[in-house]
Amino acid sequence: MDTKKKRLLELVEDLNFPIPPEEAKECVEKLNEGDLNTLIKTYEAILNFREDLEDTVREENPEKYEEIMDKYHRDMEEAWIKYAKDSQKEAEGEDQRLDLAEAKAEKSIEEAVEEFEKGLEDVTDVSNVLASKIRTVIGGNN
């Protein structure tokens, strides 16, 4: 992975985006050079602004800083919890779709096997009739 992609992943982590590292990496891998540059500049500006703002508030009003940071951490935790729940629901929905597709496939296979077996029985019946006629013809010639 090149340095720009690594930097973007660091910024995503530093900004505490509610996205698992493996998903972030997957998304970053798909970005073109222009998007990478834009996102890096944007996220660096956001991070610098946040750090400057935190320093200012911490120096000017430490109690307010603690209050704001507590709220921020609660909000981020809620965002992660919501993301996890949404991801779980999505996975469960996908599991249900896969289960339904599997059931349909099994039914189609069973129907195809039954049809094949019926066709095989028909071929066997025809073969038995032909064999009987051949024996009759051969037996009648003797």
The pLDDT > 70 percentage for the chain reads 97
Q: Residue 142: is its pLDDT beyond 60?
A: no
Give the other-Cβ count within 10 Å of 9's Cβ.
Answer: 17
Asked if 110 and 45 count as a contact pair (C-beta separation under 8 A), the reply is no
DSSP letters for the chain: --HHHHHHHHHHHHTT-SS-HHHHHHHHHT--HHHHHHHHHHHHHHHHHHHHHHHHHHHH-HHHHHHHHHHHHHHHHHHHHHHHHHHHHHHHHHHHHHHHHHHHHHHHHHHHHHHHHHHHHHHHHHHHHHHHHHHHHHHHH-
Confidence of residue 141 (pLDDT cuts 50, 70, 90): low
Q: How confident is the model at residue 140 (pLDDT cuts 50, 70, 90)?
A: low
**Residue whose token pair is 């930097």:** 7
CB 78 within 8 Å of CB 71: no
Is pLDDT of 79 > 90? Answer: no
Rounded CA-CA distance 18/42 in Å is 18
